[in-house]
Chain A
Amino acid sequence: MILPVPAELISQMALDLKAHLARRGITEPRYIGIRTGGIWVAQALLKALNSEAPLGTLDVSFYRDDFSQNGLHPQVRPSELPFEIEGQHLVLIDDVLMSGRTIRAALNELFDYGRPASVTLVSLLDLDAAELPIRPDVVGATLSLKPSERVKLSGPAPLTLELQDLAL
């Protein structure tokens, strides 16, 4: 399987996002990246959009649904949202969409800050393995992996994708 090049995906995603926001009439979106990969993707995206907008960072460790199985993630960092959530149009950005649970956690966390007007989901990759009814509004590429395969994003620059096989 040949992995796509993130930089190429980002340019196309920037165009798609601009179109999506225009269709919805959203003029002042608030950008939020999910730690850690989502932040890198968001930074690259904002650069491609030539945007100076502030970027919020979200750490979803406290909202995950697997605390009873796996405990607390060892590297919790604070979330930093330098803007109001109430009544805003959010653009939530992540690197890899798999089961959808991270997005579920992110949404729960965001709603504890306030009630957004809307949330647009942007993801670099969609692995088409959703366990929840969550679909991205803007996606870079959709991949199909074998059950034992995982894909990992490294960054922040250059952004590179790596395929890992857990069976090996």
Chain B
Amino acid sequence: MTPTDAKRPLQLNDQGQLRHFLSLDGLRRELLTEILDTADSFLEVGARAVKKVPLLRGKTVCNVFFENSTRTRTTFEMAAQRLSADVITLNVSTSSASKGETLLDTLRNLEAMAADMFVVRHGDSGAAHFIAEHVCPQVAIINGGDGRHAHPTQGMLDMLTIRRHKGGFENLSVAIVGDILHSRVARSNMIALKTLGCKDIRVIAPKTLLPIGIEQYGVKVYTDMTQGLKDVDVVIMLRLQRERMSGGLLPSEGEFYRLFGLTTARLAGAKPDCIVMHPGPINRGVEIESAVADGPHSVILNQVTYGIAVRMAVLSMTMSGQTAQRQFEQENAQ
């Protein structure tokens, strides 16, 4: 390790534009707002007959998914295709990678195929950072989710959802409910809300599902659903995975639902125009009541549409930042 490039954040170029999209940590409010604004424009594209723009024509976007995910993968594919890019998807199951090729070798092989951008999802926290540091710097790396650490595109699409339904962030009360400990979505959301100026960010979960030191994110911790949801404008429900029962973190899904499930009755304590969000896929009857998931407060399906627009924004901004950096370096070399 050389004590040199620590000054400029890995994901920004020399002009402060995105060249990779690894996490929302350390990104200025103006940059997050720019992503949201650009996404708004892409939403408009999605409403037309021809849902494509030629921005990334001739570019190759490689989806490299070390963790299975239909939803995130397909939205990234759609986003890249709507930008007229060529898309390749590689589903690398972790066990085959560990049997033979190292992660680095897999990526170097892909690099040799002249991809312009990798969208990576991996089970290890910090995987996207590692890849951005070790793969050729001209290849843009988009983090599609790394371990528990970050899911920055989900964070941004959640912010877009909130902005479109609520207008802004300053005067909102937002509650994030569920397995915060294991959730990269929760971490990205907390960082984004804080950066965008939300002053009342709440997390609601039992102690076993809360990471140590969570208050340092600038959030208020609640272990009681009724208190936590009082007068909130936005509720973000997180998925509860089956494995959590076996680790001794929770006795049963039933008990979790009884205490932390979002039911119509519980939602009544929130503001009357409260919106309900969920990154999906939803576990009906575990974290959320069907009636709420399908009800008038739910914007869960809209999130999917916004997700494509946000990913189009991120892909084009990052490709743009890479181009700008190359130009900058060429000009400076002269």
Name A's B-contacting residues (CB within 8 A). 59, 61-63, 67-72, 74-80, 108-109, 112-114
Across-interface contacts of A108 in B (CB, < 8 A): 54
Query: What does DSSP make chain B's interface, helix, strand, loop or mixed?
Result: helix
Complex Cα spacing A160 to B234, Å = 46
Instruction: For the complex formed, measure the closest distance between the CB of A133 and the CB atoms of chain B, giving whole angstroms.
Output: 20
Contact: B45 with A67, CB < 8 Å? no
- For A69, list chain B residues within 8 Å (CB): 323, 327
- In the complex the two chains form, what is the Cα distance from A76 to B54 in whole Å? 15
Check A62 against B50 for contact (C-beta < 8 Å). no
Q: Which of B22-75 contact A (CB under 8 A)?
A: 34, 37-38, 40-41, 43-45, 48-50, 52-56
Contact partners of B17 in chain A: CB under 8 A: 71
Q: How many A-B residue pairs have CB under 8 A?
A: 59
* Of B41, B50, B52, B321, the contact of A78 (CB 8 Å cutoff): B41
Sorting the interface of chain B by its residue count into under 10, 10 to 19, 20 to 34 or 35 or more gives: 20 to 34
Q: Please tell me if B320 contacts chain A, counting CB pairs below 8 Å.
A: yes
Contact in complex: A112, B52 (CB < 8 Å): yes
Measured CA separation A68–B56 after assembly (Å):
9
Chain B residues near A62: list those with CB within 8 A: 41, 45, 53-55, 316
Residues in B with CB closer than 8 Å to A75 are 37
The answer to whether B41 touches A71, judged by C-beta atoms less than 8 angstroms apart, is no
Q: List chain A residues, Cβ under 8 A from B56.
A: 67
Other-chain contact of A70, B48, B50, B323 (Cβ < 8 Å) = B323
- Cα–Cα, bound, A74→B34 (Å): 8
* Chain A residues closer than 8 Å to B321, beta-carbon distance: 71
Taking A112-B52, A114-B49 as contacts, is the C-beta distance between A78 and B44 under 8 angstroms? Answer: yes
**Contact among A63, A78, A80 with B54 in the assembled complex (CB-CB below 8 Å):** A63
Q: Please, how many angstroms separate the alpha-carbon atoms of A76 and B45 in the complex?
A: 12
- Which B residue sits closest to A78, measured CB to CB? B44
B234-253 near A? 1/0 per residue, CB < 8 Å: 00000000000000000000
User: B80: CB under 8 A from chain A?
Assistant: no
A/B interface sample: 22 pairs, CB < 8 A = A62-B54, A63-B54, A67-B56, A67-B320, A68-B323, A69-B327, A71-B320, A71-B321, A71-B324, A72-B38, A72-B316, A72-B317, A74-B34, A75-B37, A76-B38, A76-B41, A77-B41, A79-B41, A109-B53, A112-B49, A112-B50, A113-B49
Residue in chain B with minimal CB distance to A65: B54
| B38 touching A71, Cβ below 8 Å | no
Beta-carbon nearest neighbor of B45 in chain A: A62
Check B44 against A79 for contact (C-beta < 8 Å).
Answer: yes
Bound-complex Cα distance A79 to B37 (A):
13
- CA–CA, A74 and B56, complex, Å: 16
A112–B53 alpha-carbon span in the complex (Å): 8
Q: Determine the distance from Cα of A62 to Cα of B41 in the docked complex, in whole angstroms.
A: 9
Question: Which A residues lie within 8 Å of B48 (CB)?
Answer: 112-113
Complex Cα gap A133–B320 (Å): 29
